[in-house]
Amino acid sequence: MLKPERYFNIPTGIEYRFGEESKQVHELLYQNMGPTTDLLRYFPDNLYLDRCRRLPTWETGRTAAQVIAEPLGIDATGLFSFFVEYKFSDSERRAPLKGVDTRFIGIIEREAWLTYKRLTAPNPLLGIYLDGQHTLIALFYAATYAPELLYANWEHLIQPIDDERAIRKTIAQPQIKSEMGSTGSGTPWINFDIRTLKPLERFMVEDLFWEQAQASEAVKSCKKMLFGK
């Protein structure tokens, strides 16, 4: 959906940054997992710069993005920018949490969530225009069992469900599956309420400054590509 006709796309995941050495890098980070190495291990997938929307940080009086009729080129300044992390889930939880139906329970690796919290922490208060500002990282979440299928929200807004079972507290260490029976990485996770995300179409309109008709068509095409419907 975030196509080059509208966005400059800078791939930032390990596969893009290290190419043929990415497998070795992944293994090295995994074997030495911790808050420092996790910063690279879970770094977001892509950085996007919107060629049709300007929102310069230094224009402090601006409260809304400036709409550009034609996509700007490589010399443009102040483009609205954000990272995106893509997640796909086809494993519905077996039991509800704190009244949250299983259809609305999302899952994300615990260490990944902690990394995004660190990456999106607000700036300290220095008495300047950058006070309190933070990195924008969007989670694009596809869940085969959820009613809307495609959702999104900013990572700094995502919180675990208020249920002690929603946060796995086991110790993660190399070569040991912390979660027995897991078909994924086997590392601990957190569960969040998918309803705290927005349906993807709504997120694109409200947070990424898309026109309603364009967002609707883009999400419709994405659902057809991913789910055949």
122-175 pLDDT, tens per residue?
A: 999 999 999 999 999 999 999 999 999 999 999 999 999 999 999 999 998 887
Parallel, antiparallel or unpaired: strands 66-67 and 46-54: antiparallel
- Cβ–Cβ under 8 Å, residues 197 and 164: no
Average pLDDT for runs of 10 along the chain of length 229: 96 92 94 96 96 96 92 97 97 94 97 97 97 97 97 98 96 70 65 98 98 97 92
Which strand (E) or helix (H) includes residue 216? helix 212-227
- What pLDDT is stored for residue 201 in this prediction? 98
- Cβ–Cβ under 8 Å, residues 116 and 155: yes
Instruction: Classify residue 77 as exposed, middle or buried by CB count within 10 Å of its CB (0-12, 13-18, 19+).
Output: exposed
- Cβ–Cβ under 8 Å, residues 122 and 46: no
pTM, two decimals, is 0.92
State the alpha helices, DSSP H only, in 14-85.
14-18, 22-31, 37-41
As a whole number, the mean pLDDT across the chain is 93
Q: Residue written as tokens 């995941």? A: 13
- What pLDDT is stored for residue 2 in this prediction? 96
Sorted by where each begins, the domain ranges of the chain are 7-88+113-162+195-227
- What pLDDT is stored for residue 227 in this prediction? 93
- What pLDDT is stored for residue 186 in this prediction? 56
- What pLDDT is stored for residue 157 in this prediction? 98
